[in-house]
Structure 1
Amino acid sequence: MGRPAPAEPGRAALEVSPLPGRSGIRARGEISSLTRPSWEQALSELARRHADVSYVELSDVAFVDVAGVTALAVTAMNLPDGRVVVENPPPQLPRVLEMFWPGLDRIEVAL
């Protein structure tokens, strides 16, 4: 008990929780059109609580689509100051950031 059920084939799952001990969120699952409302809600909450540096831990995210990366980039660009540190993202996230937002200094990717 306490562990999320495995995702069913054809159904995406996303679980987002606060990071203990620091400002940020941890996501598990995948970020796609099926889970985007949850992802965008989590990013909205992150922006509301942002104070200089916010962390987004993605080591348990198997996939993030371009729209999910876009939501992250837009959130970071709309912060009044500071930056977002994205930790252990899936490989497509840094590639999409570099392709569409080269030089976006509001996001730091920590592999």
Structure 2
Amino acid sequence: MDAPHVVGGPAQVPGRAALEVSPLPGRSGIRARGEISVLTRPSWEQALSELARQHASVSYVELSDVAFVDVAGVSALAVTAMNLPDGRVVVENPPPQLPRVLEMFWPGLDRIEVAV
């Protein structure tokens, strides 16, 4: 996961979503930009799989440039965190729906820490 991975295109075209995922410099984790939806889910799930493979005790997911994440995208994040052998995932600056969906479907999931 050395270079950003883009799904869709750099220009926002109606009906097409884009997602760019790249490694976080200086820390274990990823930064995402764009939207996490049905159109970009394969790229999101691939990035989460790579995150899980490289996981140490804490992995970071920086989402300040993510405009939207759907329930399935949050689910993929929750399942990834639950399947880690130990440690946790710190989600930084997520879109507002992410903590609400986590609380609704995975209340008390201590493998994910949301930092706003």
- The answer to whether the superposition gives a TM-score over 0.5 is yes
Report the alpha carbon displacement of residue 6 of structure 1 after superposing the two structures with TM. 4.0
CA offsets, 1:72-93, max 9 Å, x none?
0000000000000000000000
Identity of aligned residues (%): 92
TM-score (norm 2): 0.90
Report the alpha carbon displacement of residue 5 of structure 1 after superposing the two structures with TM. 3.5
- Aligned pair count? 110
Instruction: Check whether the contact 2:69–2:95 (CA below 8 A) recurs between aligned residues.
Output: yes
Structure 1, gaps ≥5 residues long: none
CA distance in 1, matches of 2:44, 2:89: 15
TM-score (norm 1): 0.94
Please list every run of at least 4 consecutive aligned residues from structure 1 whose deviation after the TM superposition is greater than 3 angstroms: 1-7
Structure 2, gaps ≥5 residues long: 1-6
The change in CA–CA distance for 1:2 and 1:29 in structure 2 (over 3 A counts) is closer
Instruction: Check whether the contact 2:45–2:76 (CA below 8 A) recurs between aligned residues.
Output: yes
Report the alpha carbon displacement of residue 4 of structure 1 after superposing the two structures with TM. 3.8
CA distance in 2, matches of 1:92, 1:2: 22
CA offsets, 1:15-36, max 9 Å, x none?
0000000000000000000000
Q: Over aligned residues, Cα RMSD in angstroms? A: 2.4
Q: Secondary structure at the match of 1:41?
A: helix
CA distance in 2, matches of 1:72, 1:57: 12
Q: Secondary structure at the match of 1:57?
A: strand
CA distance in 1, matches of 2:22, 2:53: 15
Report the alpha carbon displacement of residue 10 of structure 1 after superposing the two structures with TM. 1.1
Choose which of 4, 11, 22 in structure 1 pairs with 2:10: 4
CA offsets, 1:35-81, max 9 Å, x none?
00000000000000000000000000000000000000000000000
Report the alpha carbon displacement of residue 2 of structure 1 after superposing the two structures with TM. 15
CA distance in 2, matches of 1:57, 1:25: 6
CA distance in 2, matches of 1:2, 1:30: 10
